[in-house]
Structure 1
């Protein structure tokens, strides 16, 4: 009888432990916002910026690495004070870049390792971006720890019609349990023009997955009526550049986007100089962060910004309507 009671107590204890662990997790997955985008408008951003469109649209993309700086793990990167100070530096950098629209990758939304701060909201407030889109890739909670991050689009100009880009998954089980990389796109009204901004962070694991994602994005772009600006950490490099990769069939992510998606890209020197490389920021060796634009647009300037606030370097570009010049000449910036 005593053995039976002990087994029952052990069984109940195990059930209680499972409930303590699983219930918050299941609740977080049920209420996950990873399958939709959230749009916000601030009444009074912390920094006043001019909102009258010029003749050039300035755009930037930046993988901010969860605000951890150059640390390898998200749980590293310094104490709370250090991380907040780094966020302030990133905000100052965004102010300095003076972009009209910014795509941010690896953005935490109240994640445990970044002091439960919504990094998109914090940076938008500090850098003076009134409008923003938040898109979550991973979104779950275990006990007291929350994993919640994805992409953000910050804009000085009104955002409309935001949508999630549901990219191919690396593992269906992993997607069900935690989430996966997705993208977001929205319309931004810039004066009399409306642009479709596409924010991406493609898989770091497989060129096959990245290239399939690129094919899906290309199909999306083909159906959009507006000129598109595609930005973010693509984790891919076109053939001829350092660390380029192809699928088993010889396809490449950047080439799929530019050829099938009818996008144009900056043409780096070959071999590229250090100032053109985007990763890793403290020892740059490849170009995996990109800004791509529809063929109706052209780059008037394009540069990789030297910064050690993340393991990626940001990219800043000025874009104007294509005027008939030869694309190869226009895109050859040399960094």
Structure 2
């Protein structure tokens, strides 16, 4: 039986309840999802007419998070972007913990990248059914601070699985710098999953440069995730090392945010163990 302590301000990851580790699957069901702090947006003009919801509590958030949690329930590993870690606008609800409880994920973690105090806590988040061996937070470079990468390692000291969750900048120049930083991080490990909101399409120059400088597989093109009500941009991605096998890549038609979730089934090599 494995028990983890509750999260501390220093960043300890959390188990909701005592957990008996089950035998991990050889195929992981993985999702990356920008949840827009739990807000549902279905038209461009909602960014203006409903913009107040980004700063003020909205009763629709909880119901929308409940719908998201039902969808997340079938997955083993979920990377979240634009999640709030508990502030005035969410009624001081940590949305990562809320989704973990509702989706029955025993382990969760959040990385706050833009701390606006009581107003907003802009964060990346992790939901997982297996205890990470370690978690590291990285502040990504850029002229405007507030972008980060969350790096988890699963397994023992041998063939570990490394998972990196990112949310990159809006400007191409900043993304180029951030992807250069991520390239160094990726190249330190053999088995890597990188996922998140890259804010650039899979055929962009910055994306091509990162793939050419790593052992990542070519991304799956034309999986459009944004905007959720009429998707025509593929800016959310899940990338794998050449050592991992991919199947059943898809975008889910669940317009609960301004992004659609992207999912992938990842087959692990025999030497990779999720539990150390």
TM above 0.5, yes or no, is: yes
Moved over 6 A (4+): none
**Could you list the per-position Cα deviations for residues 269-311 of structure 1 after superposition, in whole angstroms to 9, with x for gaps in the alignment?**
xxx4xxx311000011110000001111121221011111001
Tell whether the 8 Å contact from 1:132 to 1:159 is kept in structure 2 after alignment: no
Match of 2:4 in 1: none
Instruction: Number of aligned residue pairs: give it.
Output: 254
* Aligned residue number for residue 149 of structure 1: 122
- Quick check: 122-131 or 76-85, which moved more? 76-85
Task: Name the structure 2 match of 1:261.
Answer: 214
1:288 aligns with 2:266: no
Identify the match of residue 143 of structure 2 among 170, 187, 193.
170
Which is greater in Rg?
Answer: 1
> Is 2:37 the partner of 1:66?
yes
Q: Which has the higher contact order (CA 8 A, sep 6+)?
A: 2
Q: Tell me how far 1:37 sits from its aligned partner.
A: 4.5
TM-score, length of structure 2 as denominator length: 0.84
1:1-335 residue pairs with structure 2 within 5 A? 37-43=11-17, 51-70=22-41, 71-72=46-47, 75-76=52-53, 80-95=58-73, 98-141=74-117, 145-171=118-144, 175=145, 180-189=146-155, 194-204=160-170, 206-224=171-189, 226-239=190-203, 244=204, 252-268=205-221, 272=222, 276-321=223-268
Residues 178-217 of structure 1 show CA distances to partners (whole Å, capped at 9, x for unaligned) of xx11111011239x9631110000012x111111111110
Native 8 Å contact 1:38 1:135 kept in 2 = no
Shift of 1:219: 0.4
Higher normalized helix content (fraction of residues)? 1
CA RMSD, 1 decimal: 2.5
Cα distance in 2 for partners of 1:311, 1:37 equals 29
Task: Give how far 1:229 is off.
Answer: 0.3
Distance 1:293 1:135, change over 3 A: same
Contiguous gaps of at least 5 residues in structure 2: 1-8, 271-276
Output the CA distance in 2 between the equivalents of 1:161 and 1:315: 25
Q: Distance in 1 between matches of 2:188 and 2:152?
A: 14
- Taking the aligned partners of 2:249 and 2:16, their CA distance within structure 1 comes to 29
TM-score (norm 1): 0.70
Deviation per CA, 1:48-99, whole angstroms, max 9, x where unpaired? x99432221111100000001114266327964321111100101111xx12
Check whether the contact 2:154–2:160 (CA below 8 A) recurs between aligned residues. Answer: yes
Whether the 8 Å CA contact 2:169–2:198 is kept in 1: the answer is: yes
